[in-house]
C-alpha cells in the first residue's frame, strides 16, 4: 500500500477566490498562507480556508493533479469541493 507523501489542496480566500497548491505538510502550509508567507496570490486575500485536499504518493502525481485542478473552471472546482465534503 502506497503512503501519502504529498497533498494537493484548494483554499477559499477571503475574497471568495480559490487557490490550488501542493505540499508535503498541509497544516504548516495553510498556516503559512494565513500568515501571509505562503503563495504571493494568497497574500492580502486572507484569511484562507482549506476546502479540499487529497493525498497522493508521488511528486509527479501531485503536480499533475494540481495542474488539472488549476485548469478547471470555477464551477468544476466547486463541484469537486462539494463532492469531497459529502463523501467524508
- Each residue's pLDDT tens digit in the chain (88 positions)? 567 799 999 999 999 999 999 999 999 999 999 998 988 999 988 899 999 999 999 999 999 999 999 999 999 999 999 988 765 4
Q: Name the residue ranges covered by the structural domains of the chain.
A: 6-87
| pTM score of the predicted model | 0.90
How is domain 6-87 classified at the architecture level of CATH?
A: 3-Layer(aba) Sandwich (3.40)
> CA 47 → CA 22, 33, 34, 35, 43, distances in Å?
18, 8, 6, 9, 9
Q: Is the dihedral of CA 87, 67, 33, 57 positive or negative?
A: positive
The pLDDT value given to residue 88: 45
The pLDDT value given to residue 77: 96
Decide: helix, strand or coil at residue 6. Answer: strand
Amino acid at each position: 500500500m502506497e503512503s501519502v507523501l504529498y497533498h494537493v489542496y484548494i483554499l477559499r480566500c477571503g475574497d471568495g477566490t480559490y487557490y490550488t497548491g501542493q505540499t508535503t505538510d498541509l497544516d504548516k502550509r495553510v498556516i503559512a498562507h494565513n500568515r501571509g508567507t505562503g503563495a504571493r496570490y494568497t497574500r492580502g486575500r486572507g484569511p484562507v480556508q482549506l476546502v479540499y485536499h487529497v493525498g497522493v504518493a508521488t511528486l509527479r502525481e501531485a503536480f499533475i493533479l494540481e495542474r488539472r485542478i488549476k485548469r478547471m473552471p470555477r464551477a468544476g472546482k466547486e463541484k469537486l469541493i462539494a463532492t469531497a465534503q459529502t463523501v467524508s
